[in-house]
Amino acid sequence: MPASRHIDKGDSIRMPDFANWRAQRNAELKSPDGWLGLVGLFWLQPGTNLVGSAEDAVVRLPGGPAQLGDLCWQADGVTWQPRVGQAQSLQTDHQGSPTTVDCGNLSFFVVDRDGQLAVRVRDRDWAASKRVASLSYFDYAPDWCITADWQVLSPVVSMEVPNVSGDLKRVEVGFKAVFSVGGQDFELRPMSVSEKEIFFVFRDRTSGKETYGAGRFLKVLPAVDGKITLDFNFAYNPPCAFTPFATCPLPPPENWLPFAVPAGEKTWMAGS
């Protein structure tokens, strides 16, 4: 089902933008700090959490000292206390890039998921020993670059968003994107809205077939004069398409599109 096309200005620059974006996505996937390098996700408890290769370690590393140190989660934050060296306060990813602790080829950092803290462990040498398939994409389709009305929801509505762990997060939504496909109006509700971008999680009739079954992400620029551009050619796979150690939001029922969107990133096949 082709989308109703509303935009013609700037098509000449979208193709190189699309090619550059694809190249960047592949470079990120294959980088030492990419999602494929994650080797563990461990949920912390308030208090002291042992980090090391010991069987009783809360954060169990695949190698290195049995007791590398302790992560101390107190009311004022998280402190890393290594067995050898000085204590260090760690920043989570709640407000930006988290503090990374290195241990040989391994590193770890703390993530905050609605007040629950977890540690992700990464093997930075993973790329040296593995051949990774590149991401694949639909050809750029101008018809899937759509102008949508950016409408205010009044009053604000609550939306329950599931994640891959089975938990539900309540999101307050104050806007919706309304757009036309095949002569009918549809809408998407954002997961978040900032001064820099609007973030959507959606699924469509390609999900589980040509594209990742749990849906895809889409980031667009903020509204101008009550309009936003939904360029589905830049829809991409969430981190959970590449690793079991991600905590991705899933598309809420409100964002299940009843038609195929043959644009953007396809399913990634690890062995292809």
Domains of the chain as residue ranges with CATH: 11-31+134-255 (no CATH), 35-124 (2.60.200)
Average pLDDT estimate for 39-54:
97
For residue range 154-171, what is the model confidence (pLDDT) as tens digits? 999 888 887 766 677 888
Model pLDDT, residue 2:
47
Average pLDDT estimate for 125-140:
88
Strand partners of residue 158: 172
Tell me which of 171 and 56 has the higher pLDDT: 56
Model pLDDT, residue 7:
33
Three state DSSP letters for the chain: CCECCCCCCCHHHHHHHHHHHHHHHHHHHHCCCCHHHEEEEEECCCEEEEEECCCCCCEECCCCCCCCEEEEEECCEEEEEECCCCCEEECCCCCCCCCCEEECCEEEEEEEECCEEEEEEEECCHHHHCCCCCCCECCCCHHHEEEEEEEEEEEEEEEEEEECCCCEEEEEEEEEEEEEECCEEEEECCCEECCCCEEEEEECCCECCCECCCCEEEEECCCECCEEEEEHHHCECCHHHCCCCCCCECCCHHHECCCCCCCCECCCCCCC
Sign of the CA dihedral running 138, 139, 142, 143: negative
For residue range 27-37, what is the model confidence (pLDDT) as tens digits? 999 998 899 99
The string over 108-119, giving b where at least 16 C-beta atoms fall within 10 Å of a residue's C-beta and e elsewhere, is bbbbebeeebbb
Q: CA-to-CA distance for 5 and 7, rounded, in angstroms?
A: 6
Tell me which of 53 and 161 has the higher pLDDT: 53
Model pLDDT, residue 128:
77
Q: CA-to-CA distance for 202 and 204, rounded, in angstroms?
A: 7
Model pLDDT, residue 165:
63
| Cis ω before 16 (30° cut-off from 0) | no
Residue with tokens 């599109």: 257
C-alpha to C-alpha distances, 146 to 53, 168, 230, 231, 257, nearest whole angstrom: 51, 30, 5, 6, 15
8 A C-beta contact, residue 70 and residue 78: no
